Copies of this chain bind each other. A is one copy, B any other.
Amino acid sequence: MTDRESPPRAKRRGREAMRQAIRQAMLDELVEHGYGDVSIEGVALRAGAAKTSVYRYWPTKEDLVIDALEHVLPSPEGHESAGRIREDFRAAARMMARSLAEQAGDVLMTLVGERRRHPAVAEAIMERLIRPRQRAMLELLRQAAARGEITAGSASAIPVLVGSGLLLQHFMHHGTAPDDEQIDEYIDQAVMPLLARPESSGPPA
């Protein structure tokens, strides 16, 4: 960007605020009307932005949906290990539950519900939003295996899928995310029993 094109700081802040308003308008419209019935026109109107502003940053409706969801889901990179896998999973599950409860759950369910009619956006969500977060959880398991907390064989996709499956199913069944106590129950009763400690696979001491 040249100096000439670079907007003053205040204006740049204004642009990011406008982009954020557009993202939020997309999520609100999506839950209200469903993906198929959301129009960029409606999103722009709700955000108080020009339609051309929307298209400048997001060439397609799908791009805007994915980007808006990316901004409300916990980052797949934020998972610094606490050094104990149970605490790592609790922290990650709580962050995800909070995000689902706020709005991401309704948005995801709305999109899942329209998968047959709009398969591309459902696939993009898997590829660009779900899989990176599953890989981040698997990486936490690998670190736990590397420091000798669990066996290498326990660092598989299954405990990750069990945890996320319970979270998703809870949201589907109840229309709300599990609270902290329920999350602990899922982790302690369903995820932790799937992780073997290295010593337990050895001969008795």
Contacts and interface: CB of A to CB of B under 8 A. Distances in A.
A103 B127 CA distance: 24
Given A119-B175, A190-B194, A34 B166 contact: no
A164 interface: yes
Nearest to A166: B165
Given A168-B168, A168-B172, A158 B189 contact: yes
Nearest to A122: B175
Interface in A109-128: 109-117, 119, 122, 126
Contacts of A168: 165, 168-169, 172
A193 interface: yes
A130 B173 contact: yes
A49 interface: no
Nearest to A119: B175
A162 B190 contact: yes
Contact of A116 (B31, B122, B172): B31
Contacts of A156: 189
A161 interface: yes
B106 A116 contact: yes
14 contacts: A32-B117, A34-B117, A106-B116, A109-B113, A109-B115, A110-B113, A115-B175, A122-B175, A162-B162, A162-B166, A165-B165, A165-B169, A169-B169, A190-B194
